[in-house]
Chains A and B, each alone.
Chain A
Amino acid sequence: MKISEKLLQVKEIYKTYGEGQSETAALKGITLDVFPGEFLGIMGASGSGKTTLLNCIATMLKPTSGQILLEGENISSFKGDQLAIYRGSKIGYLFQEFELLDNLTARENIILPMSIHGEDPKKQEVHLQKLAKQLDIEEVLNKFPSQMSGGQKQRVAAARALISNPSIVLADEPTGALDTKNAKKLMGKLSSINQTEVATILMVTHDANAASFCSRILFIQDGVIFHEIRRKVPGETQNAFYERILTVMAQLGGGNNNVL
């Protein structure tokens, strides 16, 4: 795939909940593209629709109308087995609460998506070891989640999201349950994997710090894309980008345009 080709195309996505008078629109015609190797952040206030958007892309929620094309395939129209094939292999997930299976060891958790898709886990051993090294979780591979720290758990979850070389990794507030130190460590690792492995990551977050690791950020408000910023490469430092993010967030939260 050429870098200029679009990996993910979200076209005119609408999502409404309820019917009649109680109808609420969560997404009002969102359109966006994600390119291969991009680290895209989606930010917005609570209720802005960012998690609904991520869930639609993650195939956890079906949009009311519109299309979501992953590598040209309209995944929003998939059902049953087609969905199952895409989940875990083409799309990797990283959740706020890690969602590791407590009764599986770290190794078993990481290779679970491979096993589910019927791939020989032995063949992935090299990849597993490489990811473990990159994410600094080699020592916990044979441990159960209850024996790990929060940071280790989330890095194991990251390895699970990446093990099958998915086309895109979707991360929902991945630093939400971590302390600052572990959040920074995780983001550093994700960012490095994004750059070295050309892994595409789409992350929803509240956290400006976490978002400063992204190459592009979309701001959503009331179900529509409100603003977009890009990190200037080369030249702009992470700190400078962080400052810019805070400025946009301030406008979003209390700017003149948003006074009710």
Chain B
Amino acid sequence: MFFDFIKRNSRRTRKENGIYFASLVVSVVAFYVILSLGDQNVMKYLKTLESDAVAKLLLMIPMLYMVSLFFVFFLVYCANKYQLQRRRHEFGIYLMMGMKGSKLFTMIMAETLWSGLITLFIGIPISLFLTELISLATSRLIGMDIIGYEFSISWLGLGLTMFGFIVVQILAVFILSLKMMKEEPVDFLNEQKEKVQKVLSTKWSFVNLFIGVLLLCLAYVLSVSSLDRVIFMMTELILLIGIAGTFTLFRGLGNLIGKWVKDKSNLSTGLFVFTGRQLQENVLHQWGSLAISSLLMLMAMIFFTYGISMPLAQGKESRSVDFTFEGYENSERDIISVVSSDKLSSYIKDYYPMKIGIVSTPYEGMPKDTVTHDFSWAELEELTSREKDSEDKEYLLRDLSSYKDSPYLISLSSYNSLLKSINKTPILLEDGEVALYSDEDRFSYTHNILRRVLKSNPTVSIDGQQYELFSTLYTSNIVADRAITLAYALIVPDDMYNDLVDDQENPPRWNMVLDSNFVQEKGLMQATHEIDKLLSPTGLKYESYLASMGRQLFYIVAGSYITFYLGVMFLIISNTVLGLKFLMQQRSTRHRYYTVSILGASIKSLCSSARTQIWWYFGLVMSVALISSIFGFRYMVKVLLPSGSSLANSTTGWIAAIVLAAFMIFEICYIWTIQRKSDEEIKKLKEID
């Protein structure tokens, strides 16, 4: 019978208090999403490529789990506090009817456990669906259809989710019930009165406000001024000042609202004063929660922007080669026999040699008989230095200067084979002409400058002879192995290549391109994996595009995933805490709404007053977060994204704008939900009609 009673109560709770229940489901999802990271498709594949890096990440998961436990505890504690507060009167009645305190305690704990189990029952399928969605979205974000999709469940993740959630839920209710058990039955039966109006010294609160604004401005100024050069410990200092500023600002904000209400009270009609004073009280009593929520919102926005910017900052990976075989003496015969074998040939679209080599330039202490060549691209450097000053120009000059001692050459026929295989027009070089190659993915930030400079056809000097640089810059990736990161090279006619590069030292690599239908059908990840299996017994040394991209891919995926996860968690927690705090305050001041309705306010105007309070309540928190985010975004882009990333400022601006828009839409929807809940509560006052 006791169990039936618990089940009935739990059902009623779910029905009456959707926000409570939704908060619990969110907690379950939060746990599973982070715990299942290691079992996600992308991660599983990356493990085969970059097991060290993945292992390091997986070591981080327990830490993230602990962080989640902390934040989720905060959320669950708030949700349960709200729920228990709603039922105080009912508990008072049980006690007056003779229920022992210990029995009431057992009942609450049993209900908590039962609700927890039902939450898990509903939350886990949602978590599974969501993690799959995230897995797909992450792979999309990195710009490739690399997933041969497979549904996966992390059993360990599931176990830890259940354990973590139940522990957090029970602990939160245990603490709350323990506090409650110390109260007298009469405290339960009387509607909980609001806290006494705090009358802070106006002077002191304005000092707080002033210091808060000052600290925040200082943090903003520091973040802007340190954009040019990153100073050691500056990020920590800015964060510290910003956090202190936010707390102090909210501490002083209550009295500012009070002063505003007082100044306006003689001029305004309707429920203006009531609305303003309710808001003031909320801010005065909950400045700490407001500051925390505001900081969480700020972090959420910055994390979202970072999560999106990071994959984009890597540029769109342009895959032109799937496998590159390492060259060695007489490698041509072995490689051709493998790739043209029956097993492989049907999967292969094209294969061709890729000749890349370094020109030996004179250096101090070299042996006397060493064959070297004089090389200089001084004119290219000179023209570049005349370009408008910019960070990108500095990077380009630094690169050009570092490459001039060991310039790379690519043979024209090799590069044309590559262009042909990706359906691009081959290069036609006239006598005395060479072309410039630069890696599209990692060095595209210098390409605009290079393209401008190339228009004036600067010359390069090799062994005293001048060669004009072709006006087009070539950027298609040349190989799939580690030379993929080659920044700059010259594409030269084959004769010249043979003259300048020692084939013995630089045996030609071989590139292999997979059949596009095969890739499309299997997904790049699966296709690479299958060919890998066929190639590994042959003893040839090779690297795949995916493998060489693995490390980079890994950081992108892991980074995006974690930042997104934290972003979503912070956003949900900040909003739930705000929403619940507001509803709790509204509930404890319920009798005020009743009094005001007796004094002639219609239910409609009371609802509208509460709606205005909610807009302001969330608005204050959001606006501080939004202002801080403007500076936060800029600082984050500068400090956290890789230096010289290909992401233009305007792109980051757009991403920030999109994130802001999504954030606003989410907030508006959430505010509406809380407003609807608040309306429901107020409509309960309607005793007549």
Give chain A's interface residues, CB within 8 Å of chain B: 58-62, 79-81, 83-89, 93, 95, 99, 101-105, 107-108, 111-122, 144-147, 160
**Cβ contacts A to B, 19 pairs, < 8 Å:** A79-B688, A83-B689, A84-B601, A85-B600, A87-B597, A87-B599, A93-B598, A93-B599, A101-B595, A101-B596, A102-B196, A103-B277, A103-B281, A108-B277, A112-B599, A113-B599, A115-B273, A119-B269, A160-B599
User: Which partner residue on chain A sits nearest B592 by CB separation?
Assistant: A101
How far in angstroms is the closest Cβ of chain B from A17?
Answer: 13
| Residues on the B chain within 8 Å of A144, using CB | 197, 199
Give chain B's interface residues, CB within 8 Å of chain A: 194, 196-197, 199, 262, 265-274, 277-278, 280-281, 589, 591-592, 595-603, 605, 687-689
| Residues on the A chain within 8 Å of B271, using CB | 115-116
| Residues on the B chain within 8 Å of A113, using CB | 599-600
| Residues on the A chain within 8 Å of B267, using CB | 121-122
Assembly CA distance A115 to B270 (angstroms): 5
How far in angstroms is the closest Cβ of chain B from A89?
Answer: 6
User: Which partner residue on chain A sits nearest B282 by CB separation?
Assistant: A103
- Known: A95-B595, A99-B595; 17 extra A-B contacts, CB below 8 A, are A79-B689, A80-B602, A81-B602, A83-B689, A84-B601, A86-B600, A87-B598, A87-B600, A88-B600, A101-B592, A103-B194, A103-B280, A105-B262, A107-B265, A108-B265, A115-B269, A116-B271
Assembly CA distance A107 to B273 (angstroms): 11
User: Which partner residue on chain A sits nearest B279 by CB separation?
Assistant: A103
A61 touches B687 (CB 8 A): yes
Number of A-B contacts (CB under 8 A): 107
A112 touches B596 (CB 8 A): yes
User: Which partner residue on chain B sits nearest A99 by CB separation?
Assistant: B595
Assembly CA distance A119 to B600 (angstroms): 13
A84 touches B600 (CB 8 A): yes
Assembly CA distance A120 to B600 (angstroms): 16
A58 touches B687 (CB 8 A): no
A88 touches B599 (CB 8 A): yes
Query: Assuming A83-B688, A108-B265, is B194 touching A115 (CB within 8 A)?
Result: no
A104 touches B274 (CB 8 A): yes
B270 touches A80 (CB 8 A): no
| Residues on the A chain within 8 Å of B595, using CB | 95, 99, 101
Query: Assuming A88-B599, A115-B271, is B199 touching A101 (CB within 8 A)?
Result: no
Which listed residue, B196, B270, B273, touches A108 by the CB 8 Å rule? B273
User: Which partner residue on chain B sits nearest A114 by CB separation?
Assistant: B269
Assembly CA distance A79 to B602 (angstroms): 10
Assembly CA distance A85 to B604 (angstroms): 13
User: Which partner residue on chain B sits nearest A117 by CB separation?
Assistant: B600
Query: Assuming A61-B687, A112-B273, A113-B600, is B265 touching A103 (CB within 8 A)?
Result: no
Assembly CA distance A166 to B221 (angstroms): 58
How far in angstroms is the closest Cβ of chain A from B605?
Answer: 8
User: Which partner residue on chain B sits nearest A108 by CB separation?
Assistant: B273
How far in angstroms is the closest Cβ of chain B from A148?
Answer: 11
| Residues on the B chain within 8 Å of A86, using CB | 600
Assembly CA distance A231 to B531 (angstroms): 110
B199 touches A104 (CB 8 A): no
B600 touches A60 (CB 8 A): no
Assembly CA distance A79 to B273 (angstroms): 26
Assembly CA distance A105 to B266 (angstroms): 13
A146 touches B197 (CB 8 A): yes
Assembly CA distance A58 to B197 (angstroms): 29
Query: Assuming A103-B277, A103-B278, A116-B601, is B197 touching A61 (CB within 8 A)?
Result: no
How far in angstroms is the closest Cβ of chain A from B217?
Answer: 31
| Residues on the B chain within 8 Å of A122, using CB | 266-267
Assembly CA distance A58 to B281 (angstroms): 30
User: Which partner residue on chain A sits nearest B195 by CB separation?
Assistant: A102
How far in angstroms is the closest Cβ of chain A from B200?
Answer: 12
How far in angstroms is the closest Cβ of chain B from A222?
Answer: 24
A60 touches B689 (CB 8 A): no
A116 touches B688 (CB 8 A): no
User: Which partner residue on chain B sits nearest A82 by CB separation?
Assistant: B602
How far in angstroms is the closest Cβ of chain A from B564?
Answer: 40
| Residues on the A chain within 8 Å of B602, using CB | 80-81, 83-84
